[in-house]
């Protein structure tokens, strides 16, 4: 099998931290990338779940008054009608 080279840019601290963690497992960065890509090729998916963070909900936002709640809900204050 012919090998090819991949070049990636990552934060230096991330590289150092990951290298130390992988070395403790007896792996290099190249080994870890090879394992990841092999698993992706076999399973046709990432070996972990990625999620998009949810938009803030009304219950997670600070409100000081009923007017704030109605504004967040897209309503107008009934007392203004």
Per-residue pLDDT of the chain (81 residues; tens, 9 = 90+): 899 999 999 999 999 999 999 999 999 999 999 999 999 999 999 998 888 777 765 556 677 777 877 777 776 555 554
Contact 67, 77 (CB under 8 A): yes
Contact 17, 23 (CB under 8 A): no
Task: Give Cβ neighbours of residue 79 (< 8 Å, ≥ 6 apart).
Answer: none
Contact 67, 78 (CB under 8 A): no
Q: Which domains does the chain have, with CATH numbers?
A: 1-76 (1.10.1220.10)
């Amino acid at each position: 099998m012919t090998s090819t080279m991949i070049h990636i840019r990552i934060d230096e601290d991330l590289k150092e931290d990951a290298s130390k963690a992988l070395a403790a497992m007896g792996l290099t960065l190249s080994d870890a990338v090879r394992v990841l890509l092999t698993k992706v090729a076999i399973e046709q998916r990432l070996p972990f779940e990625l999620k998009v963070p949810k938009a803030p909900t009304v219950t997670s936002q600070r409100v000081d008054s009923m007017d704030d709640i109605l504004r967040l809900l897209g309503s107008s204050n009934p007392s203004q009608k």
